Structure 1
């Protein structure tokens, strides 16, 4: 009797074979054929879409929403339209507009949360300048598509199928209109047609679904936002209308207004916040806010008679606030942050503060305006993303406590996180507009180009102080590695011709030091970036060189940047594929 063959994987352990394996024996050999199924090889949908989680109504952190008992008239009108009770039933797009600080984002958040609770919200996106991908329109449709895959039964496989059929669907070569159609409109249409219920139920299902997109004006690309509005209006007025209703909010900025005033917008529902009297709502907000301040400081406030503020003072505050909830919120935060709230309130009343700009001036007048404070505040204003206390302290060579202490005096307008690794944020983006517009901020003006030059210096200093290693590691070092040329270019692009020679000489010295002492580390780190990011970085250097040659005639800087390009080319020749080499060299010619 022949001996039995040895058992497969005898004495083996920790063995894992995925897919659908087939085992065949040929003598002493074992042949394993693994047939990977199409579905198992496919990346998960969230990995493909890469949704921006902090752009939705479920985001963490400071989230503005309407206080209970406020904005009831506006909310009622929005709901009347969304629920199909408005006279203009053909309009599936609503544009809610108003000036800065009128509470558009709070209304959008409140509506989104309300319809989510009723399971009638398809998705939401809240744009925010200076918040990374939240300001990029390229992330809008993928983020909405991901939410729809979770909220609409049966939509997920349809979205997956669309991405499988068109791998380039999320790329820049595909139009916004086509991406919207394939990832948003088609999955809802197709899913609805498969619902096995009466036509009346289907109609109810479709009509009551809602999409909320807030702060179109906070998108960093005005041209693409205008194109997106065109796409929406075209889709909403076509033969097959949008299978959902969409609420949009924004300021009345020119690139947005033009689109909503066009002939394509004939089926647009408009709501203008300036047509609503917010005085009673702000009064409710003031009474609740000041009541909390009084209760939290009862030991100090016990000698102050109620009601506080007095009727006269409250009337004066309402006159100053107008319809600006941003003013009301900032004022409450400023008073609550003072050790003696009533004195802070009386100072504000006596100062002649009237409107958001003058309130910003009042808050900023109490700041120290030390060199560190100016550097921190200026950096907050020009960084593309909201960064943490740890990031600021490392990049600006400050202790964590110094960053916190410098910002404490302006915490009514800038949110200081409780965790050093959480981002510092503006309570309202109008502060950035105020501080970077000289005619408004006057002595508090922050000059963005000059601030970019200071940031380039800080980036280069950070790299110079980095211990000798093969790679720059950590968020701050990688940021400095990639962004010093960007800050350099942005700084000199908009500067006048009388550039401070001290700044110029510092930059030349620091760049030379980088190439001399940390050049290899810099080049190695660049290789960890994707191809297009490397090309962008080299473009910054090239454009900076051209800028100096044309405008500034600073020979040392031109030579330094040319040297920088040559070094990069020499290193990249050894490391990138031949297929990409020509593209990269063309980009830095």
Structure 2
């Protein structure tokens, strides 16, 4: 199992003063119990802060106990570009945070251990769809009081365009089940990804948020950059002050020794 916190240290985060509007909108969408659009696609070009927003929303969702799971694709890390790790990682996190799924996912893995090495669609069916169905059977329709969000960042960095579309199709296939989950997906607006989101069975249930290279985006990035420069400057000043005080202390000790 991938330890994402090790591969993504330090993870990107939004500065507290930036991206307030989209953070608020996403958190309101996640916490809404009666939701007609349980899938949200946040898209934008490289460099507009998608991963930082995804990380921040994941942390805020976890603090509010509404995070189901998160997975961050990255083409720069071999394992995290492979879709084979997506479903097992999500299943592990769901089992860790939701007792009812801990039981049902555990049953599936014990009964079918080979599922961890199966194709993505089989993993998704066995470790997510069937385990949620079993949880409903065992605990009733209201087995989760509050919907949870599953966050997938960097879908366009998943290895293989057909697999990227396949992941979207798998998510679309769950909508008729009315599982208590939201899917929040971040990616670049690649044509094949847009095409997958615009299928008839998904589009009515889809919320879209576009991030572009707008003035607000540039302002947020500039603000974060300025804050970083300020922190670096303060660190340098602190180091200089420390060295100066140390030198003064040495000189005073030397002077005192000569007087003695």
TM range (shorter): 0.7 to 0.9
The answer to whether the aligner puts 1:161 opposite 2:107 as a matched pair is: yes
**Structure 2 residues without counterparts, runs of 5 or longer:** 241-260
Q: Summarize the alignment of residues 79-94 of structure 1 with structure 2, pairs less than 5 Å apart.
A: 79-84=27-32, 89-94=35-40
Q: Summarize the alignment of residues 329-368 of structure 1 with structure 2, pairs less than 5 Å apart.
A: none
Distance between the aligned counterparts of 2:213 and 2:41, measured in 1? 14
Query: Contact conserved, 1:149 with 1:155, CA < 8 A, in 2?
Result: yes
Distance between the aligned counterparts of 2:86 and 2:93, measured in 1? 11
- Radius of gyration: which is bigger? 1
Distance between the aligned counterparts of 1:58 and 1:85, measured in 2? 33
Q: 2:154 aligns with which of 215, 218, 225?
A: 215
The answer to whether the aligner puts 1:278 opposite 2:226 as a matched pair is: no
Cα 1:189–1:152 change in 2 (3 A) is farther
Cα deviation, 1:35-88, whole Å, max 9, x if unaligned, reads: xxxxxxxxxxxxxxxx2112xx675523111011111011011112111189xx
| Equivalent residue, structure 1, for 2:198 | 261
Distance between the aligned counterparts of 1:263 and 1:228, measured in 2? 16
Query: Contact conserved, 2:54 with 2:151, CA < 8 A, in 1?
Result: yes
Q: Secondary structure at the match of 2:183?
A: strand
Distance between the aligned counterparts of 2:173 and 2:135, measured in 1? 22
Query: Contact conserved, 2:48 with 2:213, CA < 8 A, in 1?
Result: no
CA positional deviation for 1:121 = 1.1
| Equivalent residue, structure 2, for 1:204 | 145
CA positional deviation for 1:189 = 4.2
| Equivalent residue, structure 2, for 1:52 | 2
CA positional deviation for 1:281 = 2.2
Root-mean-square deviation (Å): 2.8
Distance between the aligned counterparts of 2:136 and 2:200, measured in 1? 30
| Equivalent residue, structure 2, for 1:191 | 135
Cα deviation, 1:270-309, whole Å, max 9, x if unaligned, reads: 110128632442343233223223323449x9xxxxxxxx
| Equivalent residue, structure 2, for 1:296 | 235
Q: TM-score, normalised by structure 2?
A: 0.81
Cα 1:59–1:122 change in 2 (3 A) is farther
If asked which structure has higher relative contact order (CA below 8 Å, sep 6+), I would say 2
Q: Secondary structure at the match of 1:278?
A: helix
Distance between the aligned counterparts of 1:227 and 1:250, measured in 2? 15
Q: 2:124 aligns with which of 180, 183, 208?
A: 180
| Equivalent residue, structure 2, for 1:151 | 97
Cα deviation, 1:461-492, whole Å, max 9, x if unaligned, reads: xxxxxxxxxxxxxxxxxxxxxxxxxxxxxxxx
Query: Contact conserved, 1:210 with 1:246, CA < 8 A, in 2?
Result: yes
Cα 1:298–1:170 change in 2 (3 A) is closer
The answer to whether the aligner puts 1:64 opposite 2:12 as a matched pair is: yes
Query: Contact conserved, 1:94 with 1:246, CA < 8 A, in 2?
Result: yes
Q: Secondary structure at the match of 1:274?
A: coil
Cα 1:235–1:58 change in 2 (3 A) is farther
Query: Contact conserved, 2:27 with 2:61, CA < 8 A, in 1?
Result: no
| Equivalent residue, structure 1, for 2:166 | 227
| Equivalent residue, structure 2, for 1:579 | none
Q: TM-score, normalised by structure 1?
A: 0.38
Query: Contact conserved, 2:70 with 2:152, CA < 8 A, in 1?
Result: yes
CA positional deviation for 1:167 = 4.2
Cα 1:297–1:168 change in 2 (3 A) is closer
| Equivalent residue, structure 2, for 1:73 | 21
Q: Summarize the alignment of residues 10-21 of structure 1 with structure 2, pairs less than 5 Å apart.
A: none
Distance between the aligned counterparts of 1:175 and 1:96, measured in 2? 23
Distance between the aligned counterparts of 2:65 and 2:120, measured in 1? 30
| Equivalent residue, structure 2, for 1:138 | 84
| Equivalent residue, structure 1, for 2:61 | 115
Distance between the aligned counterparts of 2:20 and 2:56, measured in 1? 11
Q: Secondary structure at the match of 1:284?
A: helix
Distance between the aligned counterparts of 2:94 and 2:231, measured in 1? 39
Q: Secondary structure at the match of 1:293?
A: helix
